[in-house]
Each structure stands twice: as structure tokens, then as C-alpha cells.
A and B are shown apart, each in its own frame.
Chain A
Amino acid sequence: MTAESDFGTVAAMRGVQERRDGAVRLAMLLGGTVFVLMMLLGLVMRLAQGGLVEIDAALFYRIMTAHGAGMVGTATLTGATILWFFTNRHVPLLAGVFWAFLGLFLLGVVFILAAIFVGGYGGAWTFLYPLPAMSGGFWQPSAAALFLLGYVSIGVGFLLLHLEVARKLIAAYGGIGGALAWPLAFGRGRPEDAPPAGVVAAMASTIFNVLGIVVGAAVLVASIVNLLVPGFTVDALLAKNMIYFFGHVFINAAIYMGVIAVYEIIPEYTGRPWKTTRAFAIAWTVIMLFTLSVYPHHLMQDLAMPAWTLVMGQLVSYFSGIPLIAVTAFSLLVYIRGADMRWDLASALLVLGVAGWSVGTVPAIIDGMIVVNKVMHNTQWVPGHFHTYLLLGEVAMAFGFMAWLTRAPAAQERPGAARLTGADRLLFLTYAVGGTGFVLVFLVAGALSVPRRWAVHATQWMPLAQAASVFAALVILAVTVFVLRYLSGLIRQRS
């Protein structure tokens, strides 16, 4: 083969890779843009609770529904895109599947937006049965059905994506156990023969997200039938179990898929690969089991639940923190400490993502204690902890991945050339300080017994919402610049 044909082959392969990556870049652009829009909706809610703008309760709850569904969907979209991108490095995936996933996702978004802003649906993203069918006259069953069909469309897209990932990983690594590094976990394999860290995380996330989506699909279909045929009813506690199983697994999958970016990218900055050790392999199997069994911590005030399920929820909630803190966070700190770490916006955001996730588990675990949950459940403590590990966790990882995708050419050639410029530092600090202030206000409000999901706040609570609005504005400023930087990076790369 001549040098010229070599060059032609490499160029053709790069063309194929860029087309594949093009879908990923587009998905992240959509994700980043929707994050900004959903944050704006969040700001409107905090301004309304602070008495700084006036909106009627029906509109508030529609905005709340859009914000919840939009944020959960977009977090999982960006997490799944990260999973797809890095899995594609290890096994070739069918690009068409990702386009189908993206198409079904967008179709679902259209349904959901139409249901909320045309049909008037405002039953929260959790569609807690039988609320979608009992609006008190504020929306029609058809609007609720359209909202739930939007979820079905998005869920089918995720199933397609995960099945393609599972199919290829199972074939390449000799089964589910091989892709989960079970030979190493059970002491029969060597670390050098184990799959890469990103593959183990992709396989585990795929398994639990598929199970979550299947259960979610069952309760969605039951709820849709209930809307169309009111005589068909479901046990409300069973439906709630299914909804929270699905919801918990789905949003956790977003973070567990997002952390694949940390496993795959941070080694470029430390110069040391993220190894699949025995502890890592065991941790991911434990994560998979814990993610599937912890959801009763959402039902701790459901007194009809069997007591053992609530005890399990409390115990698993606490022990879920161990794989995160002692394996992922600890390993990240060891890698950083042992390296002449080069910081740029991408690496700073990815590390912030793991830090925010780890920090956010503290108030979550404490709320997972039944005795604490009795006074903190459904107060603003809850958005306090989930915003910590989403806003400062998964979302930071997603923007870190976007910054890495569009990093400067010198940094792409040689990661050691990465630099955190003064402007980047200011941008990063704006995001981190804004995000930290925003979540701390929620936590303080929770400790003061301010309920979550109230359109109208008492006068004495308003200063908290006003302070949160300032911090939210800082976050929105930072993420708007993140998205614009990403867009200009894409344009620069194309030219």
C-alpha cells in the first residue's frame, strides 16, 4: 500500500468517525441548549417563589413539570451520549441507532411540550398515579396521555440505544459477566485482561437502565389506559413503586453514564490509565445491584409499605455511597495527586462533576434515614440534594465533556498543553460558586421546613428564593457561555 492510499484510508476512516461523532456533537449541543432553557424555567420558579414575578399557580406547575421532565430527560440524554461516544471507541456501534435514539427523543420532547404548553398538563414529571387522570379540570385526559406518550417515545429511543450497546459489548467481551469484569471481581482473572473501566460502567448502566425503562413502560401504559378507559384502575401504591423504581434508576443512570467521561478523559490529563482493578470491578456490580434495590428510600412515608422495604431503602441508600466515595472519588483523587495534572476547563468541570456528586450524596444519604425523612421529605431539602449531584455533578460532567470535545487544537495533539486561562477560571468559578450557593439555599430552606413544589411561598420564605435567584442567574450566565464556547468550537472545527 502506498503512502497516498494510506492517507486515503486514514482520511476515509476519519470521515466515518466524524460522521459518527457528528451525531454526538449535535446531541450535546441540543443537551447544552436545553439545559440553559430549563435553567431559565427554574429561575422563573424561584423568582415567583421570591415574590419578584407574578405567575398564576397553573402556569407555575406547568413550568415545574417542564423543568422536571426537561432536566431529567436532558441529563440522561447527555449521559447516554457520553456512554455511546466512549463505548464506540471500544466496539463499533451502528450510527443509525443513535440517530433513531435522537429522533425518538426529539419526538418525545415535542409531545411533552405540546402536552404542557398547549394541553395545559401540569401533573409534575413524576406523573404520580392517579393525578394525570384527576386534574380537577385543569387539563384534559388527552393532554396527560400525550405527555405520557412523549415519555414512551423517549423510553423506546433509550431502549434501542442500550440494546445496541449491550449487544456489542456482550459479543466483544464474552457475555455480560465478561463486560462487567466478573472474572476479575471473583478472583479468577487478571487486571490486564479485564475490559476498560468505561466498558464496565457502560455495561452496568445499560443493564439497570433497561430494567428501569421496562418497568417505566409498564406503568406508563397502565396510566395511559387509565386515562382512556377510566374504569381500568391500578393499585396506587404499586403504581408509585413502579414510577419511583423507573425514575430513580433513570436519573441515576444519567450520572453513572456521565462518569464514563471521567474514566476516559481524565487519564489524558494525568498520563495514567484509569485501571479496571478488582475493587473497581466489584464496585460496579455492587452499584448495579444497589441502583436496582434502593428506590424504596423514595417511599419512606408510605406507611402501607412493608417495613423491610423501607429498612432496605435506608441501608442501601447509605451503602451506595461507598462505591462512589471509596472507589470512583478516591481513585480520582489518587490519580490527580500522583500526576502533574494539567487543568483546563474540561478537566476542571469533570473533576467538579465527581466532587459535586460525592458532596451531594451526603444530604441524600441523611434524608434516606427514615427518622430524618419524616421531617425532611418533600421539603426543599430534596431539591437541595438532587441539585447538588445533578447541577454540580452530571451537568458539570456533561459540560466538561463538551469542553473536551471542542478543546483547542494544541490540547488535542498534546493533553499536556492544556491550560486554564484567566477567562476559563472566571467562568468555572462563576458556575461553581453559583451552583454551590443555589443548592445551599435549598438545603437551608429544607431545614427550615419550606415545602417543595409550592407555587406560592409564605412571606418569611421569600428572601431564600430571592437569594437562590441570584445564584441561579450566575449559573445560567456560566452555562450560556459554556454553550456558546462549545458552538464556536464546533464551527472552528468544521472550518
Chain B
Amino acid sequence: MHMMVLGVSLAFMALIAVTFILVARARPPRSDANRSEARRRQLIWAMVIFGVVVSVASLARWPHAVSAAPTEVVNVTGTQWYWEIDRTEVPQGVPVLFSAKTTDVTHGFGVVDEKGRILFQAQVIPGYENKVEYNFDEPGIYKVICLEFCGVAHHEMVNEFIVAAR
């Protein structure tokens, strides 16, 4: 997903940038007000239709959905500047519910795989129980990092857990 996001972004960014460069360098000047307005309408409709399609597709399955009766639950507590995790091991291939709380400020509960890719995250807001669910495809050692600036040792707030093969 990460590299696809980068690729799609760079493609659209390049499209806009090249359009500006071509128009700025175009000679001789050309203008047709009626044609321009028709193209503007086409552009607006194209953007609306594209937006509706992408929005429906990306929201059809709610990205923050959690199971009503989860079997695997991990309680996580963030404190300046460490994570406490009540389990060191979770199973591969089943939904795992992480219930994250904080004892002080807002933290960002982020889980990173062995390749260093962020898999998911949740803001850990004081006074709230913040629940996020994930199904691990691969066994291995996963890191927990802080993804919300929380003070002077924010970058040192690291812990880990194991996803055991089934």
C-alpha cells in the first residue's frame, strides 16, 4: 500500500506540474472562452465522479471496524515515555484487538513490521479507551512506536511483541 500511495501521488502531482509547465511555455497564445468553460465543466464533473467512486470504494468497508466479541485482546498503556503491553505474544491469522489507554498525554500507538513499515495506528487520547483491530498475516517481531509528539523522549517510546505462527 505504501509504495502504491507514493506512486499514485507522484503521478497526479507530475500531471498537474507538467500541465502548468506546458501552458507557461505555450506559444503562440490561444484562447477560446466558450471552449475553456466547457472544459472546466468537464473537469469538474470528472473530479466529482472520480471522487464519488474512490470514496465509496474506500469507505465500503469501515477502516476502523472492530469485532463485537474479540477473542484476542491486548491491553496497551502509554506513559511518558514507554509502552506497557500486557501480552508478549499474539497469534497470526486472527483478529487481535488492541485496547490502548494513556496515563498522561496523548500518544500515538503505531505498530511496525519487521520491514519497518507502519501497519496501523491509533491516537491514544487521555480519558478514552482507544480500540483498534488488526489481523497479522506474517509471524515475527513487531515494534510499537509513538506516532504523536508527546515530549522530550517521544522518539524513545518503543516496545515490541511477537506474532506467533499458527
Interface residues in chain A, defined as those with a beta carbon under 8 Å from any beta carbon in chain B: 57-58, 61, 122-124, 126, 128, 130-131, 134-136, 138, 235-237, 240, 279, 299, 301-304, 307, 310-311, 314-315, 318-319, 321-322, 325-327, 329-330, 333-334, 336-341, 343, 351, 354-355, 358-359, 362-363, 366, 369-372, 374-379, 381, 388, 443-444, 446-449, 451, 453-456, 460
Contacts and interface: CB of A to CB of B under 8 A. Distances in A.
Contact of A314 (B2, B39, B55, B151): B55
Given A377-B121, A447-B5, A451-B110, A237 B80 contact: no
Nearest to A447: B6
B55 A315 contact: yes
Interface in B20-73: 20, 23-24, 26, 29-31, 36, 39-40, 43-44, 47-48, 51, 54-55, 58-59, 62-64
A338 B29 CA distance: 5
Nearest to A460: B116
Contacts, number: 206
A378 B145 CA distance: 11
B150 interface: yes
Nearest to A321: B47
12 contacts: A126-B149, A128-B106, A236-B128, A279-B40, A310-B64, A322-B48, A330-B43, A337-B29, A341-B29, A359-B13, A362-B9, A378-B148
Given A130-B126, A325-B47, A337-B23, A448 B116 contact: yes
Given A329-B20, A338-B31, A449-B118, 15 more contacts: A134-B80, A135-B151, A236-B125, A236-B126, A302-B130, A303-B123, A326-B47, A329-B16, A330-B40, A337-B30, A338-B30, A351-B24, A363-B13, A372-B5, A374-B121
B89 to A, nearest CB: 23
Contacts of A299: 123
Contacts of A322: 44, 47-48, 51
Contacts of A240: 106, 125
B58 A369 contact: yes
Most buried by A among B20, B39, B104: B20
Contact of B24 (A134, A307, A336, A443): A336
Nearest to A337: B23
A344 to B, nearest CB: 13
Interface of B: 1-3, 5-6, 8-10, 12-13, 16-17, 19-20, 23-24, 26, 29-31, 36, 39-40, 43-44, 47-48, 51, 54-55, 58-59, 62-64, 80-81, 104-106, 108, 110, 112, 116-123, 125-128, 130-132, 145, 147-156
Contacts of B43: 325-326, 330
Contacts of A321: 47
A447 B117 CA distance: 9
A319 B29 CA distance: 31
A61 to B, nearest CB: 6
B20 A355 contact: yes
In the A-B complex, list the 5 residue pairs whose CB atoms are closest, starting with the nearest.
A338-B31, A447-B6, A454-B155, A355-B20, A378-B147
Chain A residues touching B, majority SS = helix
Contacts of B145: 451
A443 B13 CA distance: 12
A375 B117 contact: yes
B51 A318 contact: yes
B126 to A, nearest CB: 4
A328 to B, nearest CB: 11
Nearest to A318: B51
A235 B127 contact: yes
Nearest to A135: B151
Most buried by A among B59, B150, B151: B151
Contact of B59 (A311, A334, A455, A456): A311
A448 B112 CA distance: 11
Contacts of B154: 61, 453-455
Contact of B31 (A311, A337, A448, A451): A337
Contacts of B117: 375, 448-449
